[in-house]
Amino acid sequence: MWKRFRSNIGAMVGVVLLAAVILIAIFAPLIFANTPWQMVQRPFLAPFSMDSLPLGTDTLGRDVAAQLAYGARVSLLVGLVSTLVALLIGVPLGALAGFYGGYVDEGAMRFTEFFQTIPNFALAIVLVAIFEPTLASITLAIAIVSWPPVARLVRAEVMSVRKREFVDAATLAGLSKPRILVRQVLPNTVSPIIVMASLMVATAILLESSLSFLGLGDPNAMSWGYMIGAARTVIRSAWWLSFFPGIAIVITVLALNLIGEGLNDALNPHLSRKGKA
């Protein structure tokens, strides 16, 4: 499987890009002497005009490059944690619904649909507005709006695996139902979940950026969305303030999507779009 993944050029590009973003995020304090909030030069310094400030300064004279690096921390953290939380809600709910069927299924699916009827972004805004906008509440809000597709995917997978003969064999071996679900059925649903999770991280990063853009970000955390939001009034005079964070978002999301597709092709070779035997 790893071999198939490695031979996929797009996926490897994704891995390299994502690794770069992660490294920058981790080593931000070492690379940049200043915190992203510190004023270091005159405002609106254009990029590439000073060696120590390669991407220029913003409306308050803060280092844009440092802001980008620290922003990567927020984006990645929110993306990763919110996806994990969404999986923690979605996987058990979907698995129970798919495995036990009947009333359990009805109940779980109606509950899921309840969340799906409200537009994602609107719900996220409402949730963040109700809680105070902190990193934790934003992460939770994103998780709450993004688990329903996970639940539906896991339910469908479990339903199809449940009908396979090895599940009958496990029943005959006298294993209890919960044990069959956890030991026999769930491991066989892992690959589509991994693929979906990698794409969900990308979506979560976009959601977080959108929230920060609207001013609903954590005021104590520098994030890409906040940078673009703050720069939108000066977009014609200082293009670089919104351009660089925009590029950062595009690269990160693109990397995650490439990895997701690479994983999909590697884990489900039969569905590979390349069509080569």
Partner 1 sequence: MSTTLSIEHLTIGLPEGADRPYAVEDVSMAIEKGEILCVVGESGSGKSMTANALMGLLPPGVNVKAGRAVFEARDVIRLPEAEKQALRGASMAMIFQEPMTALNPLMRIGDQIVEVFAAHDRYTQSERREKALALIREVQLPDPEKIIRAYPFQLSGGQRQRAMIAMALALEPKLLIADEPTTALDVTTQAQILKLILDLREKRGMAVMFITHDFGVVAEIADQVIVMRMGKVVERGSAAEVLENPQHDYTKRLLEAIPTGRLPEARQLSETPALEIKGLRKVYRTGGGLFKPVREVRAVDDVSLTVARGEVLGLVGESGSGKSTLGRTAVRLVTPDGGQVMVGGTDLAALSDEELRKQRHKVQMVFQDPYASLNPRQRIMGAITDGPITRGIPRKEAEARARELLEIVGLGADAASRFPHEFSGGQRQRIGIARALAMDPELIIADEAVSALDVSIQAQVLDLLRELREKLELSILFITHDLRVAAQLCDRIAVMQKGKLVEIGTVHDIFLNPQQDYTRKLLAAVPGADWDQQGAA
**Which is closer to partner 1, CB of 173 or CB of 247?**
173
Between 30 and 277, CB nearer to partner 1: 277
Q: Binding marks (x or -) toward partner 1, 107..146, rule CB under 8 A? A: ----------------------------------------
Minimal distance in Å, beta carbon 89 to partner 1?
24
- Whether the Cβ atoms of residue 138 and residue 211 lie closer than 8 Å to each other: yes
∠ CA 139-86-12 to the nearest 5 degrees?
90
Measured between alpha carbons, how far apart are the two ends of the chain, in Å? 15
State which of residues 30, 165, 271, 273 lies at the interface with partner 1 (CB under 8 A). Answer: 165
Could you tell me which stretch among 43-51, 97-105, 143-151, 168-176 binds partner 1 (CB under 8 A)? 168-176
- The window from 5-13, 44-52, 179-187, 247-255 that contacts partner 1 (CB under 8 A) reads 179-187
User: Which residue among 29, 107, 178, 187 contacts partner 1 (CB under 8 A)?
Assistant: 187
Torsion of CA 112, 121, 88, 161, to 10 degrees: 50
Q: Does 272 bind partner 1 (CB under 8 A)?
A: no
How is residue 77 written in tokens?
A: 């953290």
| Whole-angstrom distance, CA of residue 68 vs CA of residue 252 | 12
Between 34 and 272, CB nearer to partner 1:
272
Stretch that binds partner 1, among 68-76, 139-147, 158-166, 202-210 (CB under 8 A): 158-166
> Helix axis angle, 224-231 relative to 240-267, nearest 10°?
150
Only segment of 55-63, 77-85, 174-182, 209-217 that touches partner 1 (CB under 8 A): 174-182
Q: Distance (Å, rounded) from C-alpha 135 to C-alpha 142?
A: 11
Neighbours of 46 (CB within 10 A): 13
**106 near partner 1, rule: CB under 8 A:** no
What is the nearest approach in angstroms of partner 1 to the Cβ of residue 88?
21
Q: Using the minimum distance from each CB to partner 1, give the nearer residue, 183 or 232.
A: 183
Angle at 101 between CA 99 and CA 103, to 5 degrees: 135
Smallest separation, CB 270 to partner 1 (Å):
12
Selected binder of partner 1 within 2, 30, 270, 275 (CB under 8 A): 275
272 within 8 A of 8, measured Cβ to Cβ = no
Half-sphere exposure of 268 (CA within 13 A, CB side): 15
Distance CA 274, CA 277 (A): 9
Which residues on neighbouring strands pair with residue 53, listed in sequence order? 50
Q: CB nearer to partner 1: give 51 or 165.
A: 165
Q: Out of 175, 194, 214, 251, point to the residue binding partner 1 (CB under 8 A).
A: 175
